[in-house]
Amino acid sequence: MKTEKIHLKPDENYIRLDNVLKLSGAVPTGGSAKIEIQGGNVKVNGEICTQRGKKLHKGDTAEFDGTVFEVC
C-alpha cells in the first residue's frame, strides 16, 4: 500500500475529506470525490466514512484505491 503525505497550510487546522482526494489527484473532480466517499469507498482512520465534509486533522489518515493519505 502506498502512503502519501498531505501537508496542512500553516494557518489551517483541518482539511476536508473530499479536498484530500481532489488535491492529491486521487480523483479528477470534487464531484468524483463525493461519489467515491458516499459510495463507501473511502476509509478514515481505518473505518468507512461516507461524510464528504469530514474534517481531517494532523495525524488522521484517509485510505482510497490502495493509497493511504496521511495529514501532516
HSE-CB of 29 using CA atoms within 13 angstroms:
3
Give pLDDT, residue 23: 93
Q: How do residues 9-52 score in pLDDT, each as one tens digit?
A: 999 999 999 999 999 999 999 999 999 999 999 999 999 999 99
* Sequence letter at residue 2: K
Is the Cβ–Cβ distance between 5 and 23 less than 8 Å? no
Give pLDDT, residue 1: 86
Bridge partners for 62 per DSSP: 44, 69
Nine-digit cell at 29? 473532480
Give pLDDT, residue 65: 96
Which residue range is the domain that position 9 belongs to? Answer: 2-71
CATH number of the domain where residue 39 is located: 3.10.290.10
Tell whether the model's pLDDT for residue 57 goes beyond 90: yes
Number of structural domains in the chain: 1
Q: What is the mean pLDDT of residues 4-12?
A: 95
